[in-house]
């Protein structure tokens, strides 16, 4: 009891003493089987945590106490205690988990299991499996609508976004998108759903109410072959005005106007850029560069890359602690 008080007291004191802008980012290193911890005040790696085989999808629990990391080749999701930076538990995810998402309350976790054509539903408090939902071939991208009613899953070989009712856990609609859809992101107001197609080379914009594709964002970079442009991760500001799209081996982040859907800028980052996370104040966007083994820091206001941080081998996913 005393110890706990002391620890939380120290944490409080540290939080109060540190500058307001200090956040903690966790980066999964797919080949290194590690998670790098980055201090956004120092812009440096402060710890490296050993995890299971092939860590990819990574996310903080809503309360900020744990970091969940999908270790695909170990067929599980590991829970890292954010206080002592150690793996403390696992979740029954089903085989080869890659990406996952949680509901607004942080009580239910939905996991894409690539090997099984299923989405697994997990009770986060009990850390128990609640059920499975059959989807298309190679489920990957996962997103929950802001009102919490709809779960969206993309399947990479079926090339669809499946709309799943979170209450009945039944598929209510399927929308065809371009080849190898990898990532799904809702606008905060729920008006649009964006899906990146890695092999199709574009981002589909879907009307989540009507279940139709209303537009597509394509990318053209002088001097780059069309095949090298492979969109993966998507990040959108809370006001929905600016979106960032990672273009994989094109080594660039596309900045897209959230309203007109036009590309306004390309930011050169590291090699094979995968995923991204904003700091809670949205001042910075951190992106993982798979081949160059680093993380690029983007100043969101200035739309400039301001820093590169070396992390572990083949960084893939990233999550930043909520405030």
Identity of the residue, 200 or 315, whose beta carbon is nearer to other proteins in the bound complex: 200
Minimum CB–partner distance for residue 64 and other proteins (Å): 32
Minimum CB–partner distance for residue 95 and other proteins (Å): 9
Identity of the residue, 127 or 211, whose beta carbon is nearer to other proteins in the bound complex: 211
Identity of the residue, 133 or 285, whose beta carbon is nearer to other proteins in the bound complex: 133
Residue 7 DSSP symbol: H
Minimum CB–partner distance for residue 160 and other proteins (Å): 6
Identity of the residue, 161 or 297, whose beta carbon is nearer to other proteins in the bound complex: 161
Residue partners of 290: CB distance under 8 A and separation at least 6: 30, 271, 272, 273, 274, 314, 315, 316
Q: Which residues pair with 94 in a beta bridge?
A: none
Minimum CB–partner distance for residue 312 and other proteins (Å): 19
User: What SS3 class is residue 250?
Assistant: coil
Minimum CB–partner distance for residue 78 and other proteins (Å): 20
Identity of the residue, 108 or 151, whose beta carbon is nearer to other proteins in the bound complex: 151
Minimum CB–partner distance for residue 156 and other proteins (Å): 6
- Quick one: three-class SS letters along 275-300? EEEECCCCCEEEEEECCCCEEEEEEC
Residue partners of 198: CB distance under 8 A and separation at least 6: 156, 179, 180, 181, 182, 230, 231, 232, 248
Q: Which helix (H) or strand (E) holds 17?
A: helix 2-17
CA distance 9 to 143: 36
Positions that interact with other proteins (CB under 8 A): 96, 114-115, 117, 136-138, 155-160, 162, 171, 174, 176, 179-180, 198-201, 225, 227
* Radius of gyration of the chain, Cα coordinates, nearest whole angstrom: 19
Residue partners of 8: CB distance under 8 A and separation at least 6: none
Minimum CB–partner distance for residue 162 and other proteins (Å): 7
Minimum CB–partner distance for residue 73 and other proteins (Å): 9
Identity of the residue, 85 or 157, whose beta carbon is nearer to other proteins in the bound complex: 157
Identity of the residue, 162 or 252, whose beta carbon is nearer to other proteins in the bound complex: 162
Tokens 């800028």 identify what position?
Answer: 265
Q: Which two tokens stand for residue 30?
A: 């797919």
Q: Which two tokens stand for residue 262?
A: 């036009």
Identity of the residue, 29 or 153, whose beta carbon is nearer to other proteins in the bound complex: 153
Residue partners of 217: CB distance under 8 A and separation at least 6: 202, 203, 205, 245, 254, 256, 261, 263
């Amino acid at each position: 009891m005393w110890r706990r008080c002391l620890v939380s007291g120290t944490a409080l004191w540290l939080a109060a003493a540190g500058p307001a802008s200090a956040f903690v980012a966790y980066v999964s290193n797919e080949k290194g089987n590690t998670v790098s911890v980055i201090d956004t005040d120092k812009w440096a790696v402060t710890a490296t945590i050993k995890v299971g085989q092939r860590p990819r999808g990574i996310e903080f629990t809503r309360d900020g106490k744990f970091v969940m990391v999908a270790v695909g080749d170990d067929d599980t999701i590991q829970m890292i205690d954010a206080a002592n930076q150690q793996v403390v538990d696992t979740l029954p995810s089903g085989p080869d988990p890659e990406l996952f998402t949680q509901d607004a309350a942080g009580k239910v976790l939905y996991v894409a299991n690539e090997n099984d054509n299923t989405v697994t539903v997990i009770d986060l408090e009990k850390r128990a499996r609640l059920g499975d939902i059959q989807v298309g071939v190679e489920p990957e991208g996962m997103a929950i609508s802001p009102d919490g009613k709809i779960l969206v899953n993309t399947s990479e070989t079926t090339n669809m976004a499946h709309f799943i009712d979170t209450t009945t856990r039944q598929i209510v609609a399927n929308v065809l998108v371009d080849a190898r859809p990898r990532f799904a992101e809702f606008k905060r107001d729920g008006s649009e759903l964006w899906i990146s197609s890695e092999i199709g080379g574009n981002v589909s914009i879907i009307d989540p109410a009507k279940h139709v594709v209303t537009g597509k964002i394509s990318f053209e970079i002088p001097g780059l072959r069309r095949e090298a442009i492979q969109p993966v991760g998507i990040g959108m500001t809370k006001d929905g005005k600016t979106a960032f799209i990672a273009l994989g081996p094109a080594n660039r982040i596309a900045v897209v106007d959230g309203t007109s859907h036009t590309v306004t800028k390309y930011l050169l980052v590291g090699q094979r850029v995968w995923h991204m996370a904003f700091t809670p104040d949205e001042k910075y966007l951190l992106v993982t560069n798979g081949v160059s083994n680093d993380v690029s820091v983007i100043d969101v206001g200035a739309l400039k890359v301001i820093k590169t941080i070396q992390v572990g081998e083949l960084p893939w996913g990233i999550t930043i602690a909520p405030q």
